[in-house]
Amino acid sequence: MTDIDVEPVEEIDDAAVPAGVDAPEYVLYGGKGGVGKTTMAAATGLASARDDTATLIVSTDPAHSLSDTLETDIPDEPTKIREEIPLYAVEIDPENAFGENPLGVEDSLGPLTELLGDDMADPFGAAMPGTDEAAAMRLLIEYLDDERFDRVVVDTAPTGHTLRLLELPDVMETMVGRLIAFRERMSGVMESVTGMFGNEDEQLEEGLGDLRELSRRIEKLRAVLQDPDKTDFRVVMVPEELSVMESERLLTQLEEFGIPVGTIVVNRVMEDLTDVADVEADWFVSPNLDSCEFCKRRWDVQQQALQQSQDVFRGHDVKRVPLFADEVRGETLLRAVAACLD
């Protein structure tokens, strides 16, 4: 086997790295597992904060890798991770954040669940997409209103988890509506038996007040996700047939949710960095398509996948990120990725 001499990347011309990003307040990266969503979110967050835009990077993926990509420990609460720029990050840990109460309303619903009976002991029941998604949604709602951040960049879980996350507002809206309607129907009965229930009716009112507020905030989040002036959902894919197919499905489902997709990011394309970004990159190692048979075959596979991707690309801003010889982690290579996304 021939040894390949790969020079370490020590620095990238600062002028070539974007200071700030052309993006709305909320940027969400989604796609198949392993396509590079975390890399894109980290690169976007770093570039965003470079012009003093207070930026929060959020990982909702239960299998977090944001800490590894940024080469710093990231806790489960928003924390500033760079001294020189206003960059914050958080890896959502639903279990630590909310335990078995991801929505924070169960404690005040005791009287109602008793009235509903054992079958409704959990008022959200099996319709809930999952506590991970529920907790992530609740925290995203909180971050939406957090005045510390001018932009929030979200590294979402793989496609299936992401779709359940996006489905949650519909589920919650339905369940909250049912509970409120139930309370209104029962109001006359409750008034006639106040003495029987004592303070429980007051507790019930408080719980329903919490649910109404949660419903209001869910509607606000839905409006933000559906507003292209405020949110850009970016689909990340690699130039392979299976990734193309999953990206097509994701685009279709996002359209059904009314969530606009502004950008498609094609990651790990076998071409030179200088072909996709205005960066001087003497250090960049390109695949040798002239003498490397393996490289030529992989490039043919990628070309076929890119040709099949034309329907996916149509109407979107397409960004290409090359295949790096080095693992993309640490600020230096993330700056190169940010230049590709600029």
- Report the CATH number that the domain containing residue 275 is assigned in CATH: 3.40.50.300
In a domain, 318, yes or no: yes
Q: Is the pLDDT of residue 53 over 90?
A: yes
In a domain, 220, yes or no: no
The span from the CA of 213 to the CA of 73, in Å, is: 34
The position carrying tokens 């929505």 is: 103
Angle subtended by helix axes 293-308 and 241-256, to nearest 10: 20
In a domain, 24, yes or no: yes
In a domain, 28, yes or no: yes
- The alpha helices in the chain, defined as continuous H runs, are 37-49, 66-70, 94-98, 110-116, 131-144, 159-192, 194-197, 200-225, 241-256, 273-276, 293-308, 310-313, 331-341
For residue 234, what pLDDT is reported? 94
Name the pTM for this structure.
0.79
Domain span holding position 279: 18-100+128-160+226-341
Q: Average pLDDT for residues 303-330, to the nearest whole number?
A: 91
Q: Is the pLDDT of residue 69 over 90?
A: yes
Q: pLDDT class for 47, splitting at 50, 70, 90?
A: very high
The span from the CA of 164 to the CA of 127, in Å, is: 11
Mean per-residue pLDDT over the chain, rounded: 78
Q: pLDDT class for 122, splitting at 50, 70, 90?
A: very low
Torsion of CA 241, 337, 226, 63, to 10 degrees: 70
In a domain, 322, yes or no: yes
What total of structural domains would you count in the chain? 1
Two structure tokens written together for 264: 């498609």
pLDDT digits (tens, 9 = 90+) for 230-254: 999 999 999 999 999 999 988 988 8
In a domain, 284, yes or no: yes
In a domain, 295, yes or no: yes
Sign, CA torsion 146/229/56/251: positive
In a domain, 190, yes or no: no
The span from the CA of 122 to the CA of 33, in Å, is: 31
For residue 227, what pLDDT is reported? 92
For residue 11, what pLDDT is reported? 57
The span from the CA of 63 to the CA of 158, in Å, is: 10
